[in-house]
Structure 1
């Protein structure tokens, strides 16, 4: 992994802010991560360079270990990615209903401004949101409250079907059967044959699954 001088400086400038909140820098994955009882919370940075400008996208979310341990058995993710997969993830821009939003840095003054904006966002909203959704019932609500509509907290809507169904099972959601059929219909229209086959395997697995 090769980091630009800008990225090194960027992460170093943020480390002193995130560490007191128990977020450690995971440099090889370009994120700050906080271990939780159920998995982790993380803030992920994507930096791209165009001429003399840097563009920064900030995503944040949570991983629920029980959901992911089941889901990753039925998804076609690379094995190396599975331990780091998020259950929920969203960008700062999308969270604030700002389409295609990224931070632009062209000089040190803009960098200082953006660092303060990132810090303020997490102090005012971000950390509270991460703590709020670090909860199985809340994850179930986010994934399954409107199962016929896209979920803004998951980028891959096919994966949402798998993780949403697992969350519904783990919380004994009374609408489990309805949710299962809605996601099956979605995959029939939008998924591959492999997606549908794996989904049916998951449904069968969950039918016999007992968390206790």
Structure 2
């Protein structure tokens, strides 16, 4: 992957800040990542250029290795091994986290770049890093995915994947609403998923019924 001069400059100017919080730069994947006991936390940047302007979208989230290892066995949309090993369990954008619709940073000159970098640093110091630490907890994952199962989850873009990961989290936390959650997700998939996804969901549920996390 060839990065533009702007992208290299952008990541270099954030590298020292994220390093203070134990996040290493994975420049090929355009993200900073911190290993955790059960997976990782990451901050992902999407940078596009249009008419001498740069637009930057920031996403951040976590991966729970056990949930992903199990979920990816039933999610055949991830056919590339690299995608499977780096898939997020939870991910949300900078804008959505703050209820800012379709938010992206706009860079037109050095001054707007400086302002953007500082805003990113301040956001993660005040809110972002705390959220990532909390979200690494299995019970927090269960809460964020399954608190309102009948409504879209703001912490995952793919709502079909949410159903698979949600029931796994509910099983692992011994959620008393596991059966209700399962039925709600099944009804959602009946309306939105293809036949293979429906079959794989039922296979996952059958597996979880006999699975004992202890």
- The TM tier, using the shorter chain, reads over 0.9
Distance 2:125 2:155 in 1: 20
Root-mean-square deviation (Å)? 0.6
Q: If the length of structure 2 is used for normalisation, what is the TM-score?
A: 0.98
Summarize deviations over 1:65-119 as a string: whole Å, max 9, x none: 1100100000021222001000000000000111110000011110000000000
Structure-1 separation of matches of 2:131 and 2:140: 11
Match of 1:134 in 2: 136
* Residue number among 190, 209, 212 corresponding to 1:210 in the alignment: 212
The aligned counterpart of 2:25 is 25
Per-residue Cα deviation, 1:21-41 (whole angstroms, up to 9, x for no partner): 000001111100000011100
* 1:43 matched residue in structure 2: 43
Q: Which residue of 2 aligns with 1:66?
A: 66
* Structure 1 CA distance for aligned equivalents of residues 188 and 46 of structure 2: 30
Match of residue 92 from structure 1:
94
TM-score between both structures, scaled by the size of structure 1 = 0.99
Aligned to 2:2: 2
Q: How many matched pairs? A: 212
Find 1:193's aligned residue among 180, 185, 195. Answer: 195
User: What is the CA–CA distance in structure 2 between the aligned matches of 1:188 and 1:84, rounded to whole Å?
Assistant: 28
Three-state SS of the structure 2 residue aligned to 1:75 is coil
Question: Matched residues in 1 for 2:9 and 2:32: separation?
Answer: 15
List per-residue Cα deviations over 1:6-53 (Å, max 9, x = no partner).
Answer: 000000000010001000001111100000011100000000000100
Matches within 5 A, 1:95-114: 95-114=97-116
Task: For residue 195 of structure 1, report the CA deviation from its aligned partner.
Answer: 0.8
Distance in 1 of aligned mates of 2:211 and 2:50: 50
Bigger drift between 61-70 and 202-211 goes to 202-211
- Paired with 1:159 and 1:28, the residues of 2 have a C-alpha distance of 25
> In the TM superposition, what is the alpha-carbon distance from 1:187 to its structure 2 partner?
0.1
Matched, 1:184 2:186: yes
Runs of 4+ in 1 over 6 A off after TM superposition: none
Partner of 1:129, secondary structure, is: helix
Structure 1 residue ranges without an equivalent (≥5): none
